[in-house]
Structure 1
Amino acid sequence: MSGFEFSDSTDAESDKPFGASEVQHRLQDFFDRWDSGHAMSRAQRDIFMSRLLSTIDSSPEARKAVADYYAKIPAKDAANREIIQNMIVRSESGRKMMVDEANRIWASKDASLYTPMYKTYSNFPGTAPREALSQAMSALNSQATDVPTSVAALNFIGTIEEDTSKDARNLRSTAISQMNSVVTGNGNDAVKALAAQKVYRLSSPDAAADASVNYLRSGATEPLVRQTLNSIASGDVELTAPLRSTLTSAVSRPSASPEERDILQSLVQGHG
């Protein structure tokens, strides 16, 4: 470490921007301290964040220096990427920096950073290139896609719900088709349940009920049953007679929890 002192001062220093020539060193000092387990007080962290936010608004040169540091954080240091994002997201300039970084990742086709890219695009709907959305859909059924990336991709794809463009209908149809394959495939149960939730959200309640019947008959896992029950409670899925019958069978399986049965009973009574 270069010896930067993390002050608890809350007055003059708290909003003073770092210079463009020093901010990368300040960031490195911060993460060196963080990664080495040297405790920082909440006040120290808050002051650093405040100064960083002031820095990215202070000049184009300072903003570029922060953006360059951010872009060089490797995929293996995902926690550090999230820390810096949690700081800069509090300013309009910082949010733009996050979207610019997602666009840079997409342009570079650096698949190791697709997880944070998907997360940024899902947090800022409408900012992603259509090609990135198409790629996220096509990657869902790839065995090379790990669970965190699948979850991030599904949340990104779920932003189609807010799409009002002229091709939104076609996007929904394509997304539902891709996610149907995920739910009925052989992947991670939690990922399959999340994919089901996205299908429910992109469908009418009646169509979602039909889909859930097919999903549950293909394999009533605990995450899928729970998600379906939650989606009925939220109104995304209509509790039709076929779905009620299918869920009754699902919560009778040996591995079903008492909570599943209780929730279904409550939902049935509420629809009575």
Structure 2
Amino acid sequence: MGRIGFGAMQLPTGAEQRESSAAVLRRAVELGVPLIDTAYLYGGGANEELVAAALHPYGETLVTTKVGVSGSGQLSDWRLDGRPESLRRQVDGCLRRLRVERIALLQLHRIDPEVPLADQVGTLAELVTEGKAERLGLSEVSVDELAAARSITGIASVQNRYNLIDRTHEPVLRACEEAGILFMPWRPLAHDGGAVAEVAAEVGATPAQVALAWLLARSPVVLPIPGTASLAHLAENVAAESVRLSPEQVARL
């Protein structure tokens, strides 16, 4: 299996695009993508249903989803919701939509500042004990929040925004590396041209591939999750794993 995952958020779930979206998911698995990232927030579960329709049973592919929000309709109508009873209700819905008895990697989409962290992470830990989840992850957390969560239960992954032009969470990446925690940067393709275009020309790759190759070079715990609804872009992203950057190129980037 490879080191480049797939973020399913961008896939259309409407009736007219559903089959083409499913084809992208199936092709991702064929190309050795090890992880598919979805969430309850993405269409209020519609994205999870799409993933299940296309890929269930999942075999060796790890399907991860996220909970911790409530709402319906437009994204602006959703809010953080880490109340224990809400998290349990959301997880039950995820299990049903993904057609599984246990979620391989269950992530907290965001920490709800109005609910004690111990209640949120503690509830997820209880769900692991009950067999509804196998591993737990966090999203958009600081070093201190990660440490606090780890004092409650084991954390297998962190999903934070991190790319060539946004390295705010560099300390979180290093904390994950020290602890052997998977770090999944979202929005991984962002870059500002310049040196990226120069390096791309030097190695015979696209700027997007260079952005991904740079992420892979940052740490062995990094697994980017670029998303696309295009088969061509999917193949391009997966092929980035074969792009090799020299130490000088990495330093320049």
Report if TM-score (shorter chain) is over 0.5.
no
TM-score between the two structures when normalised by the length of structure 2: 0.29
TM-score between the two structures when normalised by the length of structure 1: 0.28
Higher-Rg member (1/2)? 1
Higher relative contact order (CA 8 A, sep 6+): 2
